[in-house]
Structure 1
Amino acid sequence: MHAEVGDRLRIKGRTVGTSERHCEVLEVRGENGAPPYWVRYSDGHEALVFPGTDCQVEHRTS
């Protein structure tokens, strides 16, 4: 997985009835765009994320 500051992550729900979560990458802490990422979710809270296979990167367009 590779992400840059400003990219968005879409994390799919893991169980039935759980909605997708969306967040913006604020900081890349791994080497060469690798996880972990410091992100801000759409509800405003921030967290360190180690994304799994349920996550997709939406690269920002210039």
Structure 2
Amino acid sequence: MHANRGDRLVVHGRTVGHHDRVVEIVEVMGTDGDPPYRVRGEDGHEAIVSPGPDCVVRHGKATDADPGR
């Protein structure tokens, strides 16, 4: 998995009733775009994540027409 600052990380819901979460990658902490990533959610909360197989990187910054979904 490779990402750049400004890309979106989509974390797919793993159980019924849990929706996908989309967060912005604000810092790539690994080498050459590799994890871990510092991410920021819509509520402003930041966390460091090492994405698993239930995650997908969407390259490029989201726009109002495409909020990352």
Following TM superposition, where does structure 1 have runs of at least 4 consecutive aligned residues deviating by more than 2 angstroms?
none
Distance in 1 of aligned mates of 2:42 and 2:13: 15
Aligned CA-pair RMSD = 1.0
Report % sequence identity.
Answer: 57
Point out the structure with the larger helix share. Answer: 1
Correspondence 1:2-17 to 2 at 5 A: 2-17=2-17
Unaligned regions of 5+ residues in structure 2, if any? Answer: 62-69
CA distance in 1, matches of 2:42, 2:14: 18
- Residue 53 of structure 1: aligned partner: 53
1:43 equivalent to 2:43? Answer yes
Q: Normalising by the residue count of structure 2, what TM-score does the alignment of the two structures yield? A: 0.83
Tell me the TM-score normalized by structure 1.
0.92
Amino acid at match of 1:41: G
Residues in 2 aligned to 1:50 and 1:15: alpha-carbon distance in whole angstroms: 20
Q: How far 1:43 sits from its partner (Å)?
A: 2.1
Q: Which runs of 5+ in 1 are unaligned?
A: none
